[in-house]
Structure 1
């Protein structure tokens, strides 16, 4: 396994302080942070701080993007057919693919048993996600069938009640809109 970074070996409270300082300073001021850490007795180069800050900033960006996507889905998607869950599963599937791609890039010097453990965990999570996806699709199909049945029943009643063909079709479109 590769050498641990100088930031990885910091005591937890110092690392949490560093993470807060980076976010509060909007990932700037690395020279000041280097000096503050030196005053506390930790020799961490500006380059190490910048690498750590960049990774942390990228993680925060991914979290923000996922959060915003979830907000949009919650606001825009009616949830009668559990569209939010479908969207959430799609986000998770995308992340799992990203993780698997990164696993392919694990270096030759890394411990193969660590890679095997990561692959086993990823495989288990993918299986769980796939089962959830299959169950969700089954549920969505059942919802569509029930809506189609309700639309057909309403259409028959509307025709018997003397509604015009246009009104019947408008009613059907409104009912079917529930399932889309």
Structure 2
């Protein structure tokens, strides 16, 4: 497993502050100068290369989040906001893709001789929960689709029964015959 970055050893508030400085256009040297001004740090100021690696990784994560947001927005635009089922299926597919990437990373880690994936127990637990939620989402999507189909079929039968009853009345059939036709269509 790789060694923990000296930037990761900094308190979360300091790392957030570093990201704000970078977002405001500060250079690596300016950020390091600001860190050296802080005399309350209980850990050493990271090297320029460690800061560079940390900020590069943060940029990769930001790009990935932006890309996922763009995909989600495109899906909503393409599918329409009214079809929750298609959006749910799209989310399930995206989560499945992410899980596949993690599996590939695990295989790569195992094949490079180290045999370990650089994941914390918390990350592994979150991955397990994601897999569990993926299965439940797929099951819920099937149940939702079946319920929608059932409602649509009931509505179609009801409309057909009303239409047939109206036509039967116009042709002069008896009330009992109309009721029998109506019942026959509804019980379909």
Could you say which residue in structure 1 is the equivalent of 2:143? 138
Shift of 1:83: 2.6
Measured at CA, do residues 116 and 4 of structure 1 come closer, stay the same or move farther in structure 2, by a change above 3 Å? closer
2:28 and 2:52 in contact (8 A); partners too: yes
Could you say which residue in structure 2 is the equivalent of 1:46? 48
CA deviation profile, 1:50-88 (whole Å, cap 9, x unmatched): 221121112112222333333444452313x53322222
- Which among 22, 30, 33 is matched to residue 31 of structure 2? 33
Q: If the length of structure 2 is used for normalisation, what is the TM-score?
A: 0.63
Q: Distance in 1 between matches of 2:159 and 2:14?
A: 66
Q: Distance in 2 between matches of 1:8 and 1:108?
A: 26
Q: Extract unaligned runs of 5+ from structure 2.
A: 168-188
Could you say which residue in structure 2 is the equivalent of 1:86? 89
Q: Count residues with an aligned counterpart.
A: 159
Measured at CA, do residues 111 and 158 of structure 1 come closer, stay the same or move farther in structure 2, by a change above 3 Å? same
Shift of 1:92: 2.0
Measured at CA, do residues 115 and 19 of structure 1 come closer, stay the same or move farther in structure 2, by a change above 3 Å? closer
Runs of 4+ in 1 over 3 A off after TM superposition: 38-43, 68-75, 105-112, 114-121, 151-162
Could you say which residue in structure 1 is the equivalent of 2:107? 104
**Structure with max Cα Rg:** 2
Q: If the length of structure 1 is used for normalisation, what is the TM-score?
A: 0.65
Q: Extract unaligned runs of 5+ from structure 1.
A: 163-180
Q: Distance in 2 between matches of 1:73 and 1:111?
A: 35
1:86 and 1:136 in contact (8 A); partners too: yes
Matched, 1:2 2:5: no
Measured at CA, do residues 7 and 90 of structure 1 come closer, stay the same or move farther in structure 2, by a change above 3 Å? same
What value does the CA root-mean-square deviation take over the aligned residues? 3.5
Matched, 1:57 2:59: yes
Tell me: higher relative CO, structure 1 or 2? Use CA pairs within 8 A at least 6 residues apart.
Answer: 1
Q: Distance in 2 between matches of 1:161 and 1:50?
A: 77
1:77 and 1:83 in contact (8 A); partners too: no
Could you say which residue in structure 2 is the equivalent of 1:174? none
